[in-house]
Amino acid sequence: MANIPKIKPGFLTGRHPLCLLVFFVSVICISMFSGSPMVLAVSLLFSLATLAKLKGIRGMLRFLRLMLILAFLTAVINPLFNHRGRTIIARFKNGQPLTLEACFYGLYAAMILISVLTWFSCFNHCFDTDKLLYIFGRLSPRLSLMLSMALRFVPEFTAKAKEISKMQRMLSGNRKGFVIKIKNGVAVFGALLTWVLESSVTRSESMRMRGYGVTKRKMYSIFRWETEDTVFTVLVLIGTTAYLVLLSEGSFKFWFYPYIYGNISSPGAILGYIILALLMCLPLIFDNRLTGRRIKEYV
């Protein structure tokens, strides 16, 4: 047997797919279904820190700039249509009140949006085609194939669109004008549509010639479960269980209507914040010990 190579070491990306799945399902569910703004604040902070570690500070700031636009729209739209609450700030021309509670709930919804989308961005960065096939291949081979093909199609489609657009601009002599842009756009769309149809036919013929679907496939994995994955997963499960226990005891209860009130400084809530912070910073802690995944290589 030859020497076992290693995948390039990286932050989170070197963890086992099942280990990553447990972590992301945990933090995303906590962010989506938590009722406390303080819990969301902790989640948002560590999601941005994780994204900054994965994509760099500039990548995180570019992503955050787009998210702030969506968050602003969410925060503004809610008080326009939701008039519940006792604390009236002002009144619209139609007589409906603008309440402090509705504004605060709009900010809360915006925090949910940013936090969940940031965690999903981290998830998308860590999961490639091989990891998706590894997780869903045994459960539903067709679903895993569709997911992998869809994820691969997006960058291929974007790259092909840029390539055709450059060629079209060269053919048109780089002429400018509204009509020229429309003509170039129609030509690029037609070429892309033709390429997609031809590519799908070629790919289906290739799969048929290689015997796809004839017999039951055997799953081959390049991932190996290691001790660090066990420790990481156990800590995630312990932290999630502890959070759920505190949640069931009412440590994170928070009310927006008819007035703002909640348990944000009780001993149980503070303990919960600490547990969540430790849970969501586990990737930052394990990053210093990450040495890369070993690949099974057979001679």
Range of the domain at 171: 154-209
284 contacts 12 by C-beta, under 8 angstroms: no
Q: Is residue 11 part of a domain?
A: no
- Residue 141 tokens, joined: 């081979």
Q: Is residue 12 part of a domain?
A: no
Task: Examine the domain organization and report whether 119 and 266 are in the same domain.
Answer: yes
> Facing residues of 99 across strands?
88
**Span 179-217, pLDDT tens digits:** 777 877 788 888 888 887 888 788 777 777 766 666 666
C-alpha separations of 216 from 11, 26, 144, 219, 249 in Å: 35, 33, 15, 10, 48
Task: Examine the domain organization and report whether 111 and 52 are in the same domain.
Answer: yes
Task: Examine the domain organization and report whether 159 and 250 are in the same domain.
Answer: no
Task: Examine the domain organization and report whether 158 and 279 are in the same domain.
Answer: no
From the CB of residue 246, how many other CB atoms can be counted at a distance below 10 Å?
Answer: 18
Q: Look at residue 175 and tell me whether its pLDDT is greater than 60.
A: yes
How many domains would you assign to the chain? 2
pLDDT of residue 291: 38
Q: Look at residue 35 and tell me whether its pLDDT is greater than 70.
A: yes
Band (pLDDT 50/70/90 cuts) for residue 46 is very high
pLDDT of residue 295: 36
Q: What whole-number distance in Å separates Cα of residue 172 and Cα of residue 183?
A: 10
Task: Examine the domain organization and report whether 42 and 164 are in the same domain.
Answer: no
Q: What whole-number distance in Å separates Cα of residue 265 and Cα of residue 15?
A: 35
pLDDT of residue 95: 76
Backbone angles phi, psi at 123, to 5 degrees: -60, -45
**Span 266-299, pLDDT tens digits:** 888 899 899 999 999 888 887 654 434 433 333 3
Backbone angles phi, psi at 294, to 5 degrees: -90, 140
